[in-house]
Structure 1
Amino acid sequence: MPLKESASTHDANLVGILLGSTMDGEFVRDEIAGVHRSYNTDTSNECRASLSSEPIDEEQLHLLQQRELEAVHLAETGHIEQAIAQLTQIIDEYPQYASAYNNRAQAYRLQPSTGNEQLIIDDLDAAIRYADNRQMLGRAHTQKAIVLREMGQNEDEVFYNFSQGAKYGNEIARMAVARENPYAKLCGKMVTEAMRQLRNPAAAGSAKNPQ
């Protein structure tokens, strides 16, 4: 039985549509879910920052990271309900652990259409609220922008969250902002028109001086 399309793969396709180009799935996974970077030994301080109100020793932190990684793997292999249950357990034990909210939001997005959009937004808001580092803020804002766009929400709110994602260093958000910035769009139209006139000055002149 084929595996369901992951949320990060879907985001890769969506951003490809937004930006008119394709993107690597592993890159999107890093930037949106933070699966690899969150479990890199160099980011233990980042994880600890999210748990700053609940001191945890190195051994407990390592076990927590492993549990979260297992939950992400469950989601990626189609065991969505188990992944959500495991991430929920982590959140119950460490309610200020931003990464678990961000990953649970992704797991919710892998479910068949069940009208769970508000659960997703609530988790992403919690991830933003509890995040104590730039990478997590970037991931959560970027994922929220993508979800809001899928929901057909106000473009200003979508652009705001992409802008925040870009502000905190998320590469997907930076590319989306460059594409979606209304001033950039206007500038792009002006450049396109200028190039058209350069290629065909006679047509441009006749347009300015109609008979």
Structure 2
Amino acid sequence: MASNNTSYDLNLVNALFDGAANGEYVRDQISGTYAAYHTSESTESPKPSAYGSDIIAQLKQREVHAIATAESGKIEDAIKELSDIIAEYPEYASAYNNRAQAYRLTNASSSTIIADLDTAIKCASDNQTLGQAYTQKAIVLKAEGDQDGAFHNFSQGAKYGNEVAKMAAPKENPYAKLCGQMVAQAMQQLRSPN
């Protein structure tokens, strides 16, 4: 009998059941993390952009430069560049999201990171930024031990098309975790009945 399962379905099943007992994510289990954002699941439209397309294009160029600066190891300089963008354009959500990522690399406080992510969510005018900000916030909350907050934010990230969040949300669902543990235990018992 032919299988109708897609590679996404198989990755989801693997992510749910592999390591179900400890709830850890293995990067290789999550495919398509940089895939295009699919908005068919989102029932809400983000608000309109506060800035025109010409300004957005300029801001994106400045952001690309800041990201390249961070990638070269000059994270504090990148934070300064992103902070300059935010000072000039306080409703440009993507800069808050990227600054939060840079802060994470410097081990800044969770409250500082979450403040930027909350602002990114509030100001976002596109699904990609919303998906990234919610997913990044979920990761921070999970690291703090806030499982309910992590689940909610992964769910929101998935709603806005983030592929990592789509893979993580089912694993953060407390019922799915319990189910995964029960299935893993049953499979273990089937493999070694003694």
* Counterpart among 30, 40, 50 of residue 53 in structure 1: 50
> 2:113 is matched by which residue type in structure 1?
I
Residues 117 and 136 (structure 1 numbering): CA distance in 2 closer, same or farther, change over 3 Å? same
Distance in 2, Cα, partners of 1:24 & 1:196: 24
* Counterpart among 176, 185, 190 of residue 182 in structure 2: 190
* 3-state DSSP of counterpart to 1:189: helix
5 Å matches for 1:144-163? 144-150=137-143, 152-163=144-155
Deviation at 1:53, TM superposition (A): 2.8
1:166 equivalent to 2:165? Answer no
1:79 equivalent to 2:74? Answer yes
The answer on whether the counterparts of 2:30 and 2:164 sit within 8 Å (CA) in structure 1 is no
Q: Which runs of 5+ in 2 are unaligned?
A: 1-22, 37-45
* 3-state DSSP of counterpart to 2:169: helix
Say which structure is richer in helix: 1
Deviates more, 1:66-75 or 1:170-179: 170-179
> 1:168 is matched by which residue type in structure 2?
Y
Query: After TM superposition, what 4+ stretches of structure 1 lie above 6 angstroms from structure 2?
Result: none
1:118 equivalent to 2:111? Answer yes
Deviation at 1:192, TM superposition (A): 3.3
> 2:25 is matched by which residue type in structure 1?
L
Task: Give the aligned length.
Answer: 164
> 1:145 is matched by which residue type in structure 2?
A
TM-score by length of 2: 0.72
1:19 equivalent to 2:25? Answer yes
Deviation at 1:149, TM superposition (A): 2.0
In our comparison, the structure showing a higher alpha carbon Rg is 1
TM-score by length of 1: 0.67
> 1:94 is matched by which residue type in structure 2?
Y
Residues 55-103 of structure 1: per-residue CA shift (max 9 Å, x gap) = x353x43222111100011011111121111111111111111000000
C-alpha root-mean-square deviation of aligned residues, in Å? 2.9
Distance in 1, Cα, partners of 2:116 & 2:69: 19
Residues 100-119 of structure 1: per-residue CA shift (max 9 Å, x gap) = 000011111122x4x53221
The answer on whether the counterparts of 2:49 and 2:124 sit within 8 Å (CA) in structure 1 is no
* 3-state DSSP of counterpart to 2:115: helix
Deviation at 1:161, TM superposition (A): 0.8
Distance in 2, Cα, partners of 1:153 & 1:129: 24
Residue of structure 2 equivalent to 1:62: 57
